[in-house]
Amino acid sequence: MHFLKDLTSINKLNLQQTAITIGNFDGMHPGHQAIFTKLKTYAKTHNMPVVVILFEPQPKEFFTSDEAIRILPLRDKLLFLKNFGVDIVVCLRFDNKFAAITAESFIQKILIESLKVKYLLVGDNFRFGHKQQGDTKLLQQYAARYNFETENIPIKNHGLQRVSSTWLRELLRAGDFVMLDRVLCRKYALTGKVGYGERLGSKLGFPTININLRKPLLMRGVYAVRVFGIANKSLPAVANIGYRPTVCGKKFLLEVHVLNFSDNCYGKCVQIEFIKKIRREKKFNGIDELKQQITRDIVVATEFFELNKNILSS
């Protein structure tokens, strides 16, 4: 899979015609997957590459910079797209300059001239361009004029509820992983490489594997999780995700204390699967109070896994 951070290097790929979709695809829910499946089928039938256009930061993040709303890190999106068989990901930087691009210019300069669009598939509520002035009707006008096809795909429902990233965020805030997993049709998980931290957990008596998430996620708090990638089976653990306010942390981190485990995991690629929310992120009155709470969190997680042993074997 080719990963391009701008359009300047697209000419090296010598594209003739492409099948394209555009979006944030935050959460990679079944609605997104339906788009990728249909796009891939079309591309294979017509012998052209599948191109996905993403934005970093996500437009909603750019316009609400004081609030973390991200469901998945970019690396998890890219892993998902690679596994789905996407050929090219174009990740465009969303800033004030990009936000000022008109819908007509986006179609002409990016889709037609740079990416050689032949087929464009988007969701039925797709909007784009300066102040979201572009819509599927405008795309159809340009498609007729410049000889490419465009389709919009209906949003999927789960029961009577429309599946959307907005709904996923509500479920994450509530810590409702049972419903979240049903909607996603998979377990909610984050991946990453174990890196070196400040060893604060070890100093407190609770060693952790640390994953730098680069950008803040919507989730904050302490969770019972399963860890994959450090043993030949999944292991029970307690995860803290957030800024660690008690020690005035500046980085947004995912720290995972694996229960009854002490092996060296640095450099390993792991997957953290979220099972149950234990509590929200909180600032404590000093290290001693923090240690006491971590001990209680571990007890809660241990009891949960003891009562739900089938989770670790599933």
Local confidence pLDDT in tens for the 314 residues of the chain: 999 988 888 878 889 999 999 999 999 999 999 999 999 999 999 999 999 999 999 998 888 866 778 999 999 999 999 999 999 999 999 999 999 999 999 999 999 999 999 999 998 889 999 999 999 999 999 999 999 999 999 888 787 788 899 999 999 999 999 999 999 999 999 999 998 876 666 666 788 899 988 888 999 999 999 999 999 999 999 999 998 777 767 788 899 999 998 888 889 999 999 999 999 998 888 888 888 999 999 999 999 999 998 887 77
Contacts of 279 (CB under 8 A, 6+ apart): 221, 222, 297
The pLDDT assigned to 200 comes to 67
SS3 content of the chain, % helix, strand, coil (to 5): 35, 25, 35
Question: In this structure, what is the dihedral angle of CA atoms 218, 267, 255, 259, given to the nearest 10 degrees?
Answer: 130
Instruction: Please tell me the predicted confidence (pLDDT) of residue 202.
Output: 65
Give the pLDDT of residue 257.
94
What is the set of domains in the chain, with CATH numbers? 2-162 (3.40.50.620), 187-313 (2.40.30.30)
- At 287 the pLDDT is 86
Q: Which ranges constitute the DSSP H helices of 176-283?
A: 177-184, 200-204
Cα atoms in the 13 Å half-sphere on the side-chain side of 233:
7
Residue 311: partners with Cβ closer than 8 Å, 6 or more residues away: 226, 275, 305
